Structure 1
Amino acid sequence: MSAVRRKFGDEYQAVGPARCSARRERQRFVDKNGRCNVQHGNLGGESSRYLSDLFTTLVDLKWRWNLLIFLLTYTVAWLVMASMWWGIAYLRGDLHQAHDDTYSPCVANVYNFPSAFLFFIETEATIGYGHRYITERCPEGIVLFLFQSLLGSVVDAFLIGCMFIKMSQPKKRAETLMFSRAAVISQRDGRLCLMFRVGNLRNSHMVSAQIRCKLIKSRQTPEGEFLPLDQCELDVGFGTGADQLFLVSPLTICHEITSESPFFCLSQRSLRSEQFEIVVILEGIVETTGMTCQARTSYTEDEVLWGHRFLPVMSLENGFFRVDYSQFHATFEVPTPPYSVKEQEEKLSLSSPFSSPVDNNKTRGEQVCLLDCVDIAGEKDKLPFKLQKISSRKESLPQRALRMSSSNTEKTFSTGDLLKIQEISPSSEGEDSDDRMQLKASKISAEALTQSTSDLELHKISPSTGALEVKLEDNLPAKL
């Protein structure tokens, strides 16, 4: 923590997990452990579909029900099969006759129901103590023996298969995938982003790990239809491939808030009154078993911290990188604008000097001339006092040239011509500046302007240029 304060400054305050747990609880669509709070009722005749898919139904049951079904199935099967063996011995009269060398019973040494039950268990479990056995003079016993073997194999395969699948379910692999308790909103690379952290506690990797985010929020359509749990996709890097994770160390998943994001109008103030839930789904293939695993969690509006950032958990040790999971959920405050992205873009557009709409009907030359007029007006205030006085009494050459460009002939000067005319403006006080202005004016009048189309138009309006020279001579000092 001291290293973080030295790096980021004392104005950053770390926030521990206790701050998130102290927030109020509300009904969730998906719990923090990934369980969905949805119950199906009033199925009617649809409940028979569960019996048609009996294997999946048994796998989806809780462990206590699985163990109960496992015990009841074997107990009932054993009792039923033992009763059938006892019934055969009873019908043949083996229970009331002495089993000696002269008498051949169906099953040797079966005198009552317990002995018949023990014979069935020895046969089913292939124990074979050798004291009880079936004889060849009992055809009904041979048929029952074959039926017992087939039925026992089916029951063993079904129940043991259900138990094995339930024990090897990848849901338990999701217990070693961690999500941060809170999500944060702060700036990254100059853009406002919603971020949360995910980590893998095991050394075995999640192959082809992919992450998705859903925004669960109620809304009403323009047609008046109310959607209580409308699902909206949050972009976490589909176009750039950032949603494909190499989950070796903890990663921070980032959702950039743009104009296409559902949080485009979300600000720090509106976050307090919003009600939504962000569902995070992490999918991947377990490296050890090759089975697909899915881990889920959710963040409500109370678990989204505005103006926070996650503390770093990676450090470089001697020859390896160390991850400190004690700081996995910790955050610290950073300076973040409390405005939404929409409000920031509106303020940026209003602060721009050229944000006013441009008339598309104007020609490119008129738009360039308009921008040059802005530059000339800004430079006028920077002239010396004497030249400002002269320019206030009579129009300067650049202003007359610009007014000529907006006449009915709809001819405009090029940018190079305007720059030449701007050179006529004096840059210093005294007689030297006046001489320089007259020399530049006479130089322009004497030049053959042949570099642009607008230069050719200057020859047509030579009387106006001569009038400008006469007016300039009236303002010259007495010596000149």
Structure 2
Amino acid sequence: MEYRLDNNTNKHHADCRFKRHIKQRISIRRQNKRVVFKTGELNLEKSSSETPFRLIPDIISKFIDARWRWSLIFCILVYILIWFLFASIWWLILYLHGDLREENLPSANNGTIWNPCIREIYSFTSIFLFSIEIHTTIGYGKRAITLECPSAMLTMCIEGIAGHFTQALIIAIVFAKLTRPKNRAQSLIFSKSAIINQRDTHLCLIFRVGNIRKSRIIASKVNAYLIQYESNSDDDIIVNNEQINLRVKVDACDDILFLNPISVVHRIDSDSPFYNMSAQDMLNSNLEIVVVFEGVIESTGQTVQAISSYTSQEIMWGRRFSQLIHFQKNKQGYVKDFSKFDEMCRVNTPLCRAKELDDYFENRKRLSSVLT
């Protein structure tokens, strides 16, 4: 009995700790509001007060972006709907012509000669099968249109055109889903955090971009943009419409040879918006850095784009990324260890503003020139 009481008590404390942990995670997520999630999805929605004037939605784009199961269900339903639609039209034509009367059916042996619109039609099932044959251009030799009904000839032409159009539409959707660059963008990864350290005499903001596939990305370029937030009297966060373009380079190079994971560097100089920000100012600021990687897939020639972002809480001051490429003797080649992609180590970095650091080195330079 005592064991049960202790067990229930421990379970109750564990549940309380779990609930507190969930509340802390939710509160942290609410505090760290961002425009772009780490997955590249945009945290933007239309206002509810906006009146939707668009009557015809972009169905093709929606099914291209949808999951495979919904796209396949959409393709199957489109085919079945067209078959039933034209089967109903065929049934109406035959009904008005009198081909569906019992005395005019091919199975009737009344000795009369009847010229039907379509041969070998017995019921709606055979009409549906004939609609499939017309739509898919499959002919078995028995059911065929005669010259009795001009409306049947016109319907056959319309269904044939609709069949080719539907087939082209379905093939386009499937091909677009198979070759869309969005799937390739999932293999492009960004470091979870950006870092700030000192390179030579300047503070630099650095983040990593890696390609986890063997296929190359050519004609690559990286852009970074600064988005700042403002709070009003109601504690609502307002995004500043002005986006500041951050000048970035890849390891002090202008051209990117994207063979290995690259480090994208933004030098904090007099033209940088972080020039007058110290480590404490950076931590307390409401900002977000949106990074965009663009390139061309070598195998398909399509453009791929990957997006991520870093908030002020995800910028680590005084860190350096660990080395992740090493030579392995048993393979006689270089190995990229992506398990160390986000690893960092501490380095001595001034916590002051970049302007103060530049003034320090400038004064030191002047002093050395005077002494010499």
TM-score normalised over the length of structure 2: 0.79
Q: CA deviation at 1:229?
A: 4.2
Q: CA deviation at 1:105?
A: 1.8
Secondary structure in structure 2 of the residue aligned to 1:255: strand
1:231 aligned onto 2:243: yes
Secondary structure in structure 1 of the residue aligned to 2:259: coil
Mean alpha-carbon deviation: is it higher for 264-273 or for 58-67? 58-67
CA contact (8 A) 1:184 1:196 kept: yes
- Distance in 1 between the 2:187 and 2:336 partners? 15
CA contact (8 A) 2:217 2:295 kept: yes
Q: CA deviation at 1:75?
A: 2.6
| CA radius of gyration, larger in | 1
1:161 maps to: 172
Secondary structure in structure 1 of the residue aligned to 2:289: strand
Spell out, residue by residue over 1:338-361, the C-alpha distance to the aligned partner (whole angstroms, 9 max, x if none): 111112234445667769xxxxxx
2:51 maps to: 44
1:74 aligned onto 2:79: yes
CA contact (8 A) 2:202 2:357 kept: no
CA contact (8 A) 2:135 2:162 kept: no
- Superposed, which structure 2 residues align to 1:195-206 within 5 Å? 195-206=206-217
1:109 maps to: 120
Spell out, residue by residue over 1:2-22, the C-alpha distance to the aligned partner (whole angstroms, 9 max, x if none): xxxxxxxxxxxxxxxxxxx99
Q: CA deviation at 1:181?
A: 0.7
| Aligned counterpart in structure 2 of residue 28 of structure 1, from 7, 26, 34 | 34
Secondary structure in structure 2 of the residue aligned to 1:262: coil
- Name the aligned partner's letter for residue 44 of structure 1: T
| Aligned counterpart in structure 1 of residue 339 of structure 2, from 303, 316, 326 | 326
CA contact (8 A) 1:236 1:242 kept: no
1:283 maps to: 294
Q: CA deviation at 1:231?
A: 1.0
CA distance 1:135–1:300, change in 2 (3 Å): same
- Distance in 2 between the 1:252 and 1:246 partners? 12
CA contact (8 A) 1:212 1:280 kept: yes
Q: Greater relative contact order (Cα 8 A, min sep 6): structure 1 or 2?
A: 2
Identity, in percent, stands at 35
- Name the aligned partner's letter for residue 304 of structure 2: C
- Distance in 2 between the 1:298 and 1:261 partners? 18
Q: How many residues align?
A: 330
Spell out, residue by residue over 1:37-78, the C-alpha distance to the aligned partner (whole angstroms, 9 max, x if none): 111244436424x65x66556545665664554344323221
Q: CA deviation at 1:337?
A: 1.2
- Distance in 1 between the 2:89 and 2:70 partners? 28
TM-score normalised over the length of structure 1: 0.62
Structure 2, unmatched stretches of 5+, are 1-24, 232-237
Q: CA deviation at 1:119?
A: 1.2
1:84 aligned onto 2:89: yes
Pairwise CA RMSD of aligned residues?
3.1
- Distance in 1 between the 2:122 and 2:247 partners? 75
Secondary structure in structure 1 of the residue aligned to 2:342: coil
- Distance in 2 between the 1:229 and 1:64 partners? 38
- Superposed, which structure 2 residues align to 1:233-272 within 5 Å? 233-237=245-249, 242-272=253-283
2:15 maps to: none
- Distance in 1 between the 2:120 and 2:239 partners? 73
| Aligned counterpart in structure 2 of residue 152 of structure 1, from 127, 147, 163 | 163
Q: CA deviation at 1:34?
A: 0.7
- Superposed, which structure 2 residues align to 1:316-355 within 5 Å? 316-318=327-329, 319-348=332-361
